[in-house]
Amino acid sequence: MTLLALLLMIGAAGKDTHTRIRSRACALLFQKKTLLLKIPLTQMCVPAAVPRGDGRIIGGQECEPHSRPFMASLNYGYHFCGGVLVNKQWVLSVAHCWYNPYAMQIMLGEHNVRVFEGTEQLMKTENIIWHPSYDYQTLDFDIMLIKLFHPVEVTSAVAPIPLPTRCPTGGLPCSVSGWGYTAIDGAANAPTRLQCLDVPIVDEQDCEDAYPGMISRRMVCAGYMDGGRDACNGDSGSPLVCAGEVQGLVSWGQGCAQPNYPGVYVKVCEFLPWIQDTLEANP
């Protein structure tokens, strides 16, 4: 990995005190004993915002096993982000989950991360493509496509989900899924089974009021204004599914399940031309 790539990863991941992406990036830098940096490493790893890097569903419940066959786990020896299978050879996730494509693997068909269930398909990655306008500071255009080295075998446990046919509106019922902590107080609450949570789309005005000046038209809020239920760290890139279509990707938010701060998701419908163009340019 180049120094530039490492610094970009830190810039994106260093925005949440709870993210394992941030921890991994800082650990990598401290291991690079030959690097000569003018900026103290401790300053570079100070949180500046809150991307949802490591996988937490708060207030949800265990999913029905393999009821989310489109669910993908971005893996580097452990799950660190989510993704969603959108056709046999492409996974959609968020750009702040980027990692070296030669080291990252994609796990599909998984429910219990500690048990071999016979449904899993572990795939190598051939290419990872960020949106060219991705901004790691604002997390605008926070989207990437991952091309798998081989197409998946479609089964009852592994299958793509359709892209949206229209943009979501306030009040639309949706669900989000992911692995990771089910409470804010640490690893003791990390489940081994995929967790699910029903969340509604939040009205555009309520979303903008919660995050003044921070919401672009490529973002959508979902969740509960009274708090208590939310996606969080480690769920980054996990799909927000509404009416059988992937409408969002977990991106960022203020804390986890905090009142008046719903989760912020990538608004997938705004990226349909880019997704289509990218797939056609990389057959």
SS3 label, residue 277? helix
- Angstrom distance (rounded) from CA 220 to CA 168: 8
Q: pLDDT tens for residues 204-226?
A: 999 999 999 999 999 999 998 87
Q: pLDDT tens for residues 57-93?
A: 676 788 999 999 999 999 888 888 999 999 999 999 9
Catalytic choice (16, 54, 140, 235): 140
Whether 140 sits among the annotated catalytic residues: the reply is yes
DSSP state of 140: B
Catalytic choice (93, 177, 236, 238): 236
Percent of the chain with pLDDT over 70: 73
Closest residue by Cα to residue 53 from 8, 4, 93: 93
Is the distance from CB of 104 to CB of 76 less than 8 angstroms?
yes
Q: What is the pLDDT of residue 109?
A: 96
Q: pLDDT tens for residues 4-47?
A: 444 444 444 444 423 223 233 332 322 222 122 222 222 333 33
- Angstrom distance (rounded) from CA 276 to CA 90: 11
Whether 236 sits among the annotated catalytic residues: the reply is yes
Instruction: Calculate ∠ Cα 246-252-253, nearest 5°.
Output: 120
Q: pLDDT tens for residues 231-274?
A: 766 689 999 999 999 999 999 988 777 888 999 999 999 999 99
Q: What is the pLDDT of residue 180?
A: 61
Average pLDDT, the chain: 79
Give all domains of the chain, ordered by start, each with its CATH number: 3-49 (no CATH), 69-160+271-281 (2.40.10.10), 173-269 (2.40.10.10)
More confident residue, 3 or 74: 74
Name, in order, each residue with C-beta under 8 angstroms of 136's C-beta and a sequence gap of 6 or more: 8, 11, 12, 95, 96
What's the average model confidence in pLDDT over 103-131?
93
Q: Is the pTM above the cut of 0.85?
A: no
Q: Which long-range contacts (CB under 8 A, 24 or more apart) does 23-26 make?
A: 24/76, 24/80
Q: How confident is the model at residue 181 (pLDDT cuts 50, 70, 90)?
A: low
Q: What is the pLDDT of residue 233?
A: 67
Catalytic choice (96, 177, 230, 251): 96
